[in-house]
Amino acid sequence: MTKMPGPPKFNGLKKCIADHRAAASGRSSSQFVRETYCLTREEARAKAREWFDDFPKAAYWTEVESWRQLEGDQIEFTMRRLPSAD
């Protein structure tokens, strides 16, 4: 049994979506450097302080992008900064 092709408008839409996804996968959607950690509360504070000391907020826009508390006093967080200071 041969599968019938879909309507032409859907084939064009599928191609457009596939082309967009292929182009997007080749480039970064953001200029920020991000790293995610899962550490104890004290280790998380020390790691965040290390980022702010190494990459000052004024020059690198360093920030804790997101964080959440997990079981067992674990903190999962993502640090974000620009790759270089201007």
Output the pLDDT for position 38: 96
Output the pLDDT for position 15: 76
Computed over every residue of the chain, the mean pLDDT equals 84
In the chain, what's the furthest Cα-to-Cα distance? Answer: 66
Give phi and psi for 76, each to the nearest 5: -105, 125
The Cα 8–Cα 3 span in angstroms is: 15
Output the pLDDT for position 1: 61
The identity of residue 83, as a single letter, is: P
Sign of the alpha-carbon dihedral angle for 3, 9, 13, 16: positive
Give phi and psi for 58, each to the nearest 5: -60, -35
Give pLDDT tens digits for 7-38. Answer: 666 667 677 777 777 666 555 557 999 999 99
Domains along the sequence of the chain with CATH: 31-86 (3.30.30)
Percent of the chain at pLDDT above 70?
A: 72
The Cα 81–Cα 51 span in angstroms is: 9
The model's pTM is 0.64
